[in-house]
Amino acid sequence: MIRNVVVGISGGVDSAVSAHLLKERGFNVLGVFMRNWDEHDEAGRCSGEQDLRDAEWACRKLNIELRQVNYVKQYWTSVFSQFLDDYQQGLTPNPDILCNKHIKFDLFHQHALQTLQYDAVATGHYARNSLGDFLEHAGGQITDDVRLLIPADTFKDQTFFLAGIAQAALRRTMFPLGGLKKTAVKELARRIGLQRLAEKRESTGICFVGKRDFKAFIREYITSKPGNFVDIDSGRIVGTHEGVHQWTVGQRCRLSSYLQPYFVARKDAASNIIYVAAGHEHPALHSTRIHIDAVNWLCSRARQQLATEGSLRCRFRFQHTKPLVDCQLRPFEVQLDAPLRAITPGQYAVFYDDVACLGAARILHGEPLQCLEQQVAMER
């Protein structure tokens, strides 16, 4: 029977309301604040200090004990170092997916369940668990059938960022906000005296970059390496850049004196060349076939179907705000029903059915429509 629950308290409204909902249901709740980054902002203030103060304030209001755990070293090794390595190799990583995978749903889970000996972990993510938002259907059985479900608030849906976690972690994870809309969460926060958090500005973007310009931030860690922008059609040099790490696929290059704007089509870290395509809708920027790494599965049935039948009809996205696109998933390959622009190596292909997130795989590269058109023409 689940009685004792550790809640990851971030200093935001979502985790605080999650803790309140757990207390309301009679669980013994312990709040834990994770310190993952130790950077100071331009004014010399540690950017996490205000979050810690807000977490302490919320726990006092809720009459919940708050402890701290420090993962700064592990975050640097598992998330930030990987982030820098990827950029140097011309990839565009997703540190939020890596943080959930390595820190929040691995190290933090181990701390809560093994070190503290609590029964379950709860977070303020907008997601649902097939075993129930409060694990009310878990029983005592360890089962492979646990699934990560799409939440009631589809606009705030965070399953995309959870797609890299281990399926086993779901068996001990509660998502108290799974059945609520964000507006209802803020309304509840005001009603229980957490108005300060309800009105707090939400953090967006990469946590360790903060409000800084990304190119300025990345220059602090990766040395500039000048190279050329090369027109993907003509092979002509059309400009220069300060390093492949400063650009991502699909980004406008802002090169002057050309009739059409240029956009990044492909990056070659070995030669330090960025290939650019003229025009936002250039075929080199669009793909229907995507090559992927191995899938991290969050649905046993989907994994078994792909293994036995060789393909799986599902839906795809590689940016959490974009609409889902129907696709055919095969081992290490995705065939989209409709072309998408700027498929980005290093990002994640995340797969869904109508109600759940099935899992995710890292994108190796997308095949440009231009190449496919040339291939078809040659076959004719």
Question: Would you name the residues annotated as active-site residues?
Answer: 99, 207
Please report the DSSP string for 219-244 in residue order: HTTS----EEEEETTT--EEEEES-G
Question: How far is residue 380's CA from residue 373's CA, in Å, rounded to a whole number?
Answer: 11
User: Looking at the DSSP assignment, which residues form a beta bridge with residue 252?
Assistant: 263
Helices 49-62 and 13-24 sit at what angle, rounded to 10 degrees?
A: 20
Determine the 3-state secondary structure of 159 from DSSP: helix
Cβ 18 vs Cβ 62: under 8 Å = no
Number of H helices, E strands in the chain: 13, 18
CA distances from 211 to 42, 44, 94, 197 (A): 10, 14, 18, 20
In degrees to the nearest 10, what's the CA dihedral of 72, 122, 148, 348?
A: -20
120-122 vs 4-8, strand pairing mode: parallel
Q: What value does the CA radius of gyration of the chain take, rounded to a whole number of Å?
A: 23
